[in-house]
Amino acid sequence: MLDNLFYIIFPYAAITLAIVITVQRYLKRGFTYSSLSSQFLESDELFYGSVPWHIGILVVLMGHVIGFAIPRQVLWFNGVPARLYILEITGLLFGLLALVGIVSLIVRRFTSARIRAVTSWMDVVVLLVLLVQVVLGVYTALFYRWGSSWYATSAVPYLRSLFTLQPDLKMIAPLPMAVKAHILNAFIFLAILPFSRLVHMLVVPIHYLWRPYQVVIWNGDRRKIRGQSPRPRKQPATTALPVIADGGVVNKPVTAR
């Protein structure tokens, strides 16, 4: 019964919250989307927290996503023991890196007076949820070995069953407590995501890698307003945005506001 609540009802509630509230917040309260960086107030300790945390957690998270996307291929890869060991050790190392990072970040947040001044209750909740998740993850990696393989055969079918709207608990029901807590905590993470600073991970500026350096935005097309356009227009009227690139002068549309 409790399993139904924790692993069927709550996950759907968490996913719904995560989608509806993040979109609503993005559209209506765009101002609140920020990394809320505190580097300006304290920079040195941040380096030893933020960098290992982000690198560690990104790699681990990527591992989870890959396992979810292509479980068969992961199982095939793990078929050779040497490859399995390498995968497991890599995962564990990055998990430990994330653990070191999150612990440094927590220590920093509560020892620096300036950082305490910008700490909200939600920040405390976020740090706690992340710490619990990483500790459970590392614990699982250490004591329930070959997770990369059994994740593909037990947790992935469950997760996929959620996505196909036919929730099926039989694969995760017999899992150890630590692993089940890890799964539950993951959905808690999803549930608090839209209400916390975690939304910054949804607006990672990947498009920066290919956009032109200079951005010029016009409030509409002046040529059109004044009814004279002898020069052929290169872009649609509403966002007529000549942009000066680093390599040469080009015209490329950029979305205004």
Partner 1 sequence: MDVRLQISMVFHLDKCIGCHTCSIACKNVWTDRKGAEYMWWNNVETKPGTGYPTAWEDQSKYKGGWEQKNGKPELKMGSRSLRVLNLFHNPNMPRMDDYYEPWTYKYEDLFNSPEGADQPTARPISMVTNKPIDIKAGPNWDDDLSGSPVYAANDPNLEALTPEQREELFDIERLVFFYLPRICNHCLNACCVAACPSGAIYKRGEDGIVLINQERCRGWRMCVTACPYKKTFYNWSTGKSEKCILCFPRLETGEAPACFHSCVGRIRYLGGLLYDADRMLEALHVPDDQLVEAQRDLILDPSDPEVREAALRNGIDELTLEACERSPVYKYVKEWKLALPLHAEFRTLPMLFYVPPLLPVMAKTGDGVYDSSNEELFSPIEKARLPMEYLARLFSAGNVEPVRLALKKQYAIRLFKRMETVGDMDPAVVKQALAEVGCSEAEAEQIYRLTSLPTVDDRYVIPPMHREEAMQMLNDDVLADKGEAGFGFREAPARGA
Site for partner 1 in 4-33 (CB under 8 A): 28-33
Q: Could you give the count of Cα atoms lying within 13 Å of 9 in the half-sphere of its Cβ?
A: 6
- Pick one of 4, 24, 43, 153: the residue that binds partner 1 (CB under 8 A): 43
Residues 153-182 that bind partner 1 (CB under 8 A): none
23/27 Cα distance (integer angstroms): 6
Residue 41 binds partner 1, judged by CB under 8 A: yes
Residues 104-123 that bind partner 1 (CB under 8 A): 113-114, 116-118, 120, 122
- Pick one of 100, 146, 160, 197: the residue that binds partner 1 (CB under 8 A): 197
Residue 25 C-beta: closest distance to partner 1, Å: 8
Residue closer to partner 1 (CB basis): 41 or 93: 41
Residue closer to partner 1 (CB basis): 174 or 210: 210
Bridge partners (DSSP) listed for residue 243: 250
78/88 Cα distance (integer angstroms): 10
Please, are residues 159 and 190 in contact by the beta-carbon 8 Å criterion?
no
Q: What residues contact 44, with CB distance under 8 A and at least 6 apart?
A: none
Residue 145 binds partner 1, judged by CB under 8 A: no
Residue 119 C-beta: closest distance to partner 1, Å: 11
User: What is the token pair recorded at 126?
Assistant: 């976020």
Please, are residues 180 and 10 in contact by the beta-carbon 8 Å criterion?
no
Secondary structure of residue 255 in the 3-state scheme: coil
Residue 254 binds partner 1, judged by CB under 8 A: yes
Please, are residues 198 and 192 in contact by the beta-carbon 8 Å criterion?
yes
- In the block, residue with structure tokens 């490329």: 252
Residue 96 C-beta: closest distance to partner 1, Å: 18
Please state whether 221 falls in left (phi above 0), alpha (psi between -120 and 50) or beta.
beta
Helix H or strand E encompassing 251: strand 249-251
Stretch that binds partner 1, among 62-70, 128-136, 177-185, 245-253 (CB under 8 A): 245-253
Residue 230 binds partner 1, judged by CB under 8 A: yes
Residue closer to partner 1 (CB basis): 176 or 220: 220
Stretch that binds partner 1, among 64-72, 138-146, 160-168, 248-256 (CB under 8 A): 248-256
Residue 191 C-beta: closest distance to partner 1, Å: 13
Residues 201-220 that bind partner 1 (CB under 8 A): 203-209, 211, 213-220
Give the residue among 126, 135, 134 at the shortest CA–CA distance from 193. 126
Residue 225 C-beta: closest distance to partner 1, Å: 6
